Amino acid sequence: MNQQSPAETILAVENISLSFGVMKVLDSISFDIKRGEIRSIIGPNGAGKSSMLNVINGFYHPQEGSITFKGETRKQMAPQVAASQGISRTFQNIALFKGMSTLDNIMTGRNLKMKTNLFWQALHIGPARAEELENREAAEKIIDFLGIQAIRKKPVGKLPYGLQKRVELGRALAAEPELLLLDEPMAGMNSEEKEDMCRFVLDVNSEFGTTIALIEHDMGVVMDLSDRVLVLDYGKQLADGVPEAVRNNQDVIDAYLGVPHEEA
């Protein structure tokens, strides 16, 4: 989809290792994400995919390695830094405010864009009012983009699963991220919902130029959408490259077909 030409690297991780006690979840992983690409991370259950995203957005702190985001190298990320620097994400298990409406949930994604303090916001006058209008417009554009006008005022807890996933994507988009982390956005969807979601992922990428890191189990989806694919297995980096190369990689085939692992 996007030109593979010498694009700038937006994020690079070097030799990341993460352990919980004796459990080594990530073992010396290195890869980079170029600006504007769709980068997928795949692997069997427990491979460390979600952990990798959690490291990138600062929720987990790796014991070793470094993360370079937009040219700045850190030992570890902090969630608030990640968010304010332009990384937003969705979760494998939807993490929305169930009692709030679709619109309000998306508005919470605009939180970091709001400058006025609570006092002005509560009074809803002056600069706070102008800011609210501006943010509401941004939220409405996302609602339009995702085609969820009909559920604008509905509490998200009452929505079907596929739509909740869409609202969660909307909230992530509301922060106008430079890097969007999607943790299994198509899990539990039927094929029609999956098709819609693929369309949205591609549109986000091409319309807003947003860089996307995607974890997904559906191989068809991954191979169709991705510019490059990273394969993890039991915390180890198995392969990294364009979909075609990964598809034909013997190690990857073995991992997916379940060849027994040698003792560590």
Partner 1 sequence: MDQKEQDTNLDTFPKLLASHVKLRPAQDAIREKDLGIWQSWTWAEAAAEIRALACGLASLGLKRGEKLAIIGDNRPRLYWGMTAAQALGAVPVPLYQDSVADEMAYVLDNADVKIALVEDQEQVDKMLEVHDRCPKVEHVIFDDTRGLRHYEQEFLHDFEAVQQAGVEYDRAHPDFYEREVAAGNGADVSIMLYTSGTTGNPKGVVLTNDNVIITARNGIIREGLTSKEEVLAYLPMAWVGDNLFSYAQSYVAGFCVSCPEDATTVASDLREIGPTYYFAPPRVYENMLTQVMIRMEDAAEIKRKLFHYFMEHARKVGVKILNRESVSLKDSLLYQLGNVLVYGPLKDVLGLRRTRLAYTAGEAIGPELFDFYRSLGINIKQLYGQTECMVFICVQPDGEVYADTVGTPAIDVEIKIDDSGEIMYRSPGVFHSYYKNPESTASTKTEDGWVHTGDAGFFDEHNGHLKIIDRAKDVGKLNDGTLFAPKYIENKLKFFAFVKEAVVFGDGRDYSTAFINIDLDAVGNWAERRNLAYSGYIDLAALKEVYQLIKDCVDKVNKDLSEDSRLANSQIRRFLILHKELDADDGELTRTRKVRRSFVGERYDILVEALYSDQTECHIDTQVTFEDGRTGSLAADVQIWDAEVFAENSASQEAAA
Binding interface with partner 1 (CB under 8 A): 136-137, 140-141, 143-145, 147, 149-150, 152, 199, 202-203, 206-207
Shortest separation between residue 229's beta carbon and partner 1, angstroms: 22
Q: How far is the CB of 138 from partner 1 (least distance, A)?
A: 10
Nearer to partner 1, 99 or 147 (CB): 147
**Among residues 147 and 160, whose Cβ is nearest to partner 1?**
147
Q: Which is nearer to partner 1, 143 or 189 (CB)?
A: 143
Q: Which is nearer to partner 1, 70 or 136 (CB)?
A: 136
Shorter beta-carbon distance to partner 1: residue 144 or 244: 144
Distance CA 88, CA 250 (A): 34
> Least distance in Å: CB of 122 to partner 1?
23
Q: In what order do the strands lie in the sheet with 236-241?
A: 87-90, 179-183, 211-215, 38-42, 228-233, 236-241
* CA distances for 225 relative to 4, 39, 233, angstroms: 14, 9, 21
Q: Closest CB to partner 1 among 203 and 224?
A: 203
For partner 1, the closer of residues 207 and 224 by Cβ is: 207
- Sequence-distant (≥ 6) Cβ neighbours of residue 7 within 8 angstroms: 34, 35, 36, 37
Choice between 3 and 93, CB closer to partner 1 = 3
Q: Closest distance between partner 1 and the C-beta of residue 111, in Å?
A: 20
82, 89 contact by CB (below 8 A): no
Report, in Å, the least distance between residue 203 CB and partner 1: 5
Least Å from the CB of residue 141 to partner 1 = 6
- Shortest distance in whole angstroms from residue 263 CB to partner 1: 50
In whole angstroms, the minimum distance from the beta carbon of 140 to partner 1 comes to 4
Collect all residues with Cβ–Cβ distance below 8 Å to 116 and sequence separation of at least 6.
127, 128, 131
